[in-house]
Chain A
Amino acid sequence: MAKIYSKKAAVTTNLKPNKEVVSFILSYSQALTVVKINEKSFEIIAN
């Protein structure tokens, strides 16, 4: 197996999460409603 001597350059690319992840978060946020009744909170997720 060939030996790799080169080091990877320090990557300075702007790291970003996947678009799908961001889109999921936004849809989740739209679907979620939190209702508080007598100190108890209920999470309702609309389909």
Chain B
Amino acid sequence: MANLQIPDALLVKNYVEGNESALSTLIKRHESKIYGFIYSKIADKDISNDIFQDTFIKVIKTLKSNSYNEEGKFLPWVMRISHNLIVDHYRKTKKMPMYRETEEFSIFSIMSDDTLTIENKMIVDQVEVDLKKLIEELPNDQKEVLVMRMYQDMSFKEISEVTGVSINTALGRMRYALMNIRKIIEKHQIILTN
């Protein structure tokens, strides 16, 4: 089937000429790219929504005042606006007080490095691999619930809908899954720690 898509440039032109539905099409076409871009930098849904909204308010104002210079680059232009708003957001929220190092006060008393050392990172990865092996040992019904809950971040309500069992059954399976994993860990004296 031929892909008949009105180009962005034409939609922008229609919008500037007063066709409001062109904006709706543009938003629908690019919302996930733009929102995804913002969310990748902000990692907070509410703030990302705010920035997405502010981005389009700027877009609308620019288009309505005929200040937009069409060069066939609508999406990069919108991304640029959202990028600038993200920078503004960080400027506003991450204003750090300045500390000066003195004899009594060392800058390292307030600074810390939270990143894991290479050794700790290897341990974490190893624990992850061990845990996956343990999960594989579980009966299928328990494994299914545990994976959905812990790895796919689904709620018990969603799990019960997907698996076709009641919420209580799903909760029970999760409980047995954890008990069984603990049993295997104790039995084989596996150490999961970092």
Q: How far is the CA of A25 from the CA of B35 in the complex (A)?
A: 14
Total interface residues on B, using CB and 8 Å?
Answer: 28
Q: Is the CB of A5 within 8 A of B60?
A: no
Q: How far is the CA of A24 from the CA of B49 in the complex (A)?
A: 11
Q: Which of B48, B53, B131 is the one whose CB lies under 8 Å from A25? A: B53
Which label, helix, strand, loop or mixed, suits the secondary structure of the B interface? Answer: helix
Q: Is the CB of B23 within 8 A of A21?
A: no
Q: Is the CB of B61 within 8 A of A17?
A: no
Given contacts A5-B128, A15-B35, A15-B39, are A25 and B65 in contact (CB under 8 A)?
no
Considering only CB atoms, which chain B residue lies closest to A6 in the complex?
B150
Return chain A residues, CB-CB under 8 Å to B153.
Answer: 8
B contact residues vs A (CB 8 Å cutoff): 20, 23-24, 27, 31-32, 35-36, 39, 48-49, 52-53, 56-57, 60-61, 64-66, 127-128, 131, 150-153, 192
Sampled A-B contacts (19; CB under 8 Å): A4-B150, A5-B131, A6-B131, A15-B32, A16-B32, A17-B31, A17-B35, A17-B53, A22-B31, A25-B23, A25-B27, A25-B53, A25-B56, A26-B23, A29-B20, A29-B64, A33-B64, A41-B65, A43-B61
A contact residues vs B (CB 8 Å cutoff): 4-9, 14-18, 21-22, 24-26, 28-30, 32-34, 36, 41, 43
For the complex with contacts A25-B56, A25-B60, A29-B20, 7 further pairs of A-B residues with Cβ separation under 8 Å are: A5-B128, A8-B153, A14-B36, A15-B35, A16-B31, A26-B27, A29-B23
